[in-house]
Structure 1
Amino acid sequence: MTEITIDIVRHGETYLNQLGRAQGWIDMELNKQGLEQASQTGKALADVYYNIIISSDLKRAVQTRDRIIKHLKHVPDVAYTDKTFREVFFGYFEGLDSEANWRTIAVQHGYQDHDDIIRHESLESGRNMMHEMDPTGQAESYEEVVARWKRGIKHLLKKANDGDRVLLVTHGTFIRTIADALGVDTVGNFPTNAGVTTIKVSDKGAKMVEYNHKFSVKD
């Protein structure tokens, strides 16, 4: 059995993050704050020996990955981008005000906002409500996101050796969905820009080690 440890990093801040807009497959670069966040995380991870580095193919993830790599004392031979690890696709809701999106969806189901949906039902229900309310039918369902994650991990396990440590740079809602699928309560706890979530993965499944660690200056 192959078991690996994955440090999953959310990309640094972008202008759309700053403006509170839904940013799924929209390809946006990091802003100044985002670049600084990525560098800080890179410094914090400098001594970690990674065997494989992966990022989503979207600019904000690639930029974050490259900033982190600059600070690593060991850079592995295996590094690649994989669109399987892209952010959740929000379809019609892409680029719109994120809080307004969720208020619209929540009110239609008798709730106030996204966290209210999760508290009374689940993150899965919220994701599927967006999918069902998208007039274009393109917003991803919870099941589609989790299935995409599993495909990416299956591909990764074929490349990895037992005991490898992997750096994966991806996106906030994607990370939150995976954490939820692993039993983490994420109400009021969205992945921080350039924060790190660590999991262990094997052919038998995955387990959470630490969710949403934000590096401080002291780290």
Structure 2
Amino acid sequence: MTLFGLVRHGQTDYNLRGLFQGSSDIPLNDTGREQAHHALEPLPAIPWDTVVSSPLQRAEQTARIIAEDHDIPWGGTDVRLREIDWGAAEGRPVDEMERLYPDRSFPGREDHQQVADRGYDALEDLEQRFPGKNVLVVAHGTLIRFLLSGIAERPLDSIPNGTLSVITLEGTTWGVEMIAGVAEERIVQVRSHDQNPRFILDKPALIPGAAPRPL
């Protein structure tokens, strides 16, 4: 069984200003760097064997801070772990764009299930690279929420910056043990590696400290 820790990157100025961020390559701000230093606290210590990340700089910066702080070997980046492309909403205020598109069907937006599928595919490949290991993955709020909701088989709230979730993969069985620092117990089995769990589309409420909606 391979265990994955999913960390959402620290805060950026786009997060702070309530702008859709998605595929835009925005760096961490000072708060985000501080969140990265504390992302694994005060949770039970897990001996991480490697840390990988999305190639977007806010995720890679978070991952490298964690790797240095905790002496975790660097495992590189995977483009499939990047955040959803919000299309025409990129860089625009969330409130404004949701008034225009209440269902978030922005022109040019990436398909939701395709986002989840590339995330699952990346994790399956990491399982092959690091069988039986503990792999820390630093990525993005919407991608992580889509992955978790498919395994938990329920709608999920927004994922706060700098929080850790834990899932497992053994063969074709996915499990979730923790969501944004809160214990969870759920497994789902798919028929083959060609099939991924189906995420549940929702309009999430807030977890305390989260952005108004995943950006």
The answer to whether the 8 A contact 1:42-1:67 is kept is no
After superposition, the C-alpha distances for 1:168-218 in whole angstroms (9 at most, x for unaligned) are 0000111111122222432xx21111011111112213221111128xxxx
* 1:126-145 correspondence to structure 2 within 5 Å: 126=103, 130=105, 133-134=106-107, 138-145=108-115
For residues 206 and 15 of structure 1, what CA distance do their matches in structure 2 show? 34
Q: What's the offset of the Cα at 1:102? A: 2.3
Corresponding residue for 2:97? 101
Query: Bigger relative contact order, structure 1 or 2, given CA contacts below 8 A and separation 6+?
Result: 1
RMSD: 1.9
TM-score of the pair, normalised by structure 2: 0.78
The answer to whether the 8 A contact 1:46-1:71 is kept is no
After superposition, the C-alpha distances for 1:91-113 in whole angstroms (9 at most, x for unaligned) are 1111111232223222xxxxxxx
Structure 1 residues 103 and 206: CA distance shift in structure 2, 3 A: farther
The answer to whether the 8 A contact 2:53-2:138 is kept is yes
Question: Which of 171, 181, 189 does residue 213 from structure 1 map onto?
Answer: 181
For residues 16 and 69 of structure 2, what CA distance do their matches in structure 1 show? 25
**Match status 1:175 vs 2:144:** yes
For residues 179 and 40 of structure 2, what CA distance do their matches in structure 1 show? 18
Question: Which of 61, 64, 70 does residue 66 from structure 1 map onto?
Answer: 64
* 1:145-184 correspondence to structure 2 within 5 Å: 145-162=115-132, 164-182=133-151, 183-184=153-154
Q: What's the offset of the Cα at 1:42? A: 4.7
- Relative to its length, the structure with more helix (as a share) is 1
For residues 151 and 47 of structure 1, what CA distance do their matches in structure 2 show? 27
Question: Which of 145, 152, 166 does residue 198 from structure 1 map onto?
Answer: 166
Query: How many percent of aligned residue pairs carry the same amino acid?
Result: 27
User: Which of these two proteins has the greater Rg computed from alpha carbons?
Assistant: 1
Corresponding residue for 1:85? 81
For residues 194 and 19 of structure 1, what CA distance do their matches in structure 2 show? 17
For residues 205 and 142 of structure 1, what CA distance do their matches in structure 2 show? 22
The count of residues paired between Structure 1 and Structure 2 equals 181
After superposition, the C-alpha distances for 1:58-98 in whole angstroms (9 at most, x for unaligned) are 000011011111221x423x511111100111111111112
